[in-house]
Amino acid sequence: MKQSEIFRENAENCLHLAERSKGQPAFRRYRRMAEAWTALADEQDWLDGEVPPVEKATVPEGRRVS
């Protein structure tokens, strides 16, 4: 099993915990944890070469970057 799949399973577990949580603070905490695990999974896919890097934004001619 790939590391990113493990991270996505952790995110899913956090979402299940959020659904069963009692109260908004716990719900929001588990949702943020799920988002963090998903971000880690996406980054791991990138590190493993499964997702191409994002291209840099181009600046239109005549405009300067400050």
Residue 53 pLDDT more than 80?
no
Residue 17 and residue 30 in contact, taking contact as beta carbons nearer than 8 Å? yes
Residue 42 pLDDT more than 70?
yes
pLDDT of residue 64: 59
Residue 49 pLDDT more than 60?
yes
In terms of Cβ atoms closer than 10 Å to its own Cβ (0-12, 13-18, 19+), residue 33 is middle
Residue range 1-26, pLDDT digits in tens: 899 999 999 999 999 999 999 999 99
| Alpha carbons 14 and 40: distance in angstroms, whole number | 14
Of the chain, the end-to-end C-alpha distance in Å amounts to 44
pLDDT of residue 1: 87
Which one has a higher pLDDT value, 8 or 55? Answer: 8
